[in-house]
Structure 1
Amino acid sequence: MSKETLTIEVSWPASLAVPEGSTIDIQLWAGNDKAGYSMIDGDFSTPATASPVTLEIPYDSQDLQSHDGTTTWDHFHTSPRLVHGGFIKNIAYAEKISVAQTKGAAWKMALR
């Protein structure tokens, strides 16, 4: 098993109202190019203080294995959310990226 770090940069337009105390939250899934099948455990959140914000998400190569161990997932799937007071204020469209594309580069996403 090898440890890796996925870097996700989330931005939003200046016209988007971001209340003080807001966070950017994500759920990260591993899967193939069609769908996410296995959620990577963790609380992935960072304060939404200024656009863009960066999340650094540690994962293990084991996180890219199917539950039965027969498949190695080759894509990440997520859709960042702007959250304030427990309520979702805005969400990005669901996006995917190949694991190979994330090596050495940030995954850039935008709230709309």
Structure 2
Amino acid sequence: MATETLKIEISWPDTLEVPAGATVNAQLWVGTEIADYRMITDGDACAPAGTSPATLEITYDAEDLLPDNAETVWDYLHIAPYLMHDGKRLNIARVAKVGIEEARLSGWKIAIS
């Protein structure tokens, strides 16, 4: 089992009120450009959301990037990051995607609203 860590820089606008103790959370999915995806993390990853941007580090098993069958080719990572505080979401999670190789080479930067 070979693990990899993906660093995702998540930023949000100054107009979004983020109280002390808030976190940025997300699940990481592998999939195609349009759909056909599956989660490759165990639940939500999270990091403190003290200042924007925050860096979320997600570790996953590289074998999870292998397709389930010969007809499927996983070529994108999908994520829907959101801010949380006191059990409540502070923003609506919007799905973002990036090519797997691009994310591995240069990380991933996402702006949420």
Shorter-chain TM-score tier: 0.7 to 0.9
Deviations 1:30-86 (A, max 9, x none): 1111125210123410010000001111122211134x4544411100110011111
Partner of 1:34: 34
Partner of 1:62: 63
Structure 2 gaps, min length 5: none
CA RMSD of aligned residues (A): 1.7
Change (3 A) 1:9 1:25: same
Contact 2:41 2:59 in 1 (8 A): no
Cα distance in 2 between the residues matched to 1:72 and 1:5: 21
Change (3 A) 1:80 1:10: same
Structure 1 gaps, min length 5: none
| AA matched with 2:56 | L
Structure with the larger strand share:
1
Change (3 A) 1:36 1:56: farther
Give me the TM-score of the superposition, normalised by structure 2: 0.86
Deviations 1:2-43 (A, max 9, x none): 332211100011111001111000011111111252101234
Cα distance in 2 between the residues matched to 1:6 and 1:76: 10
Percentage identity across paired residues of the two chains: 46
| Aligned positions of 1:10-49 closer than 5 A | 10-42=10-42, 43-49=44-50
Give me the TM-score of the superposition, normalised by structure 1: 0.87
Change (3 A) 1:36 1:51: farther
> Which contiguous aligned blocks of 4+ residues in structure 1 show a shift greater than 6 angstroms?
none
Query: Residue 106 of structure 1: CA displacement?
Result: 2.0
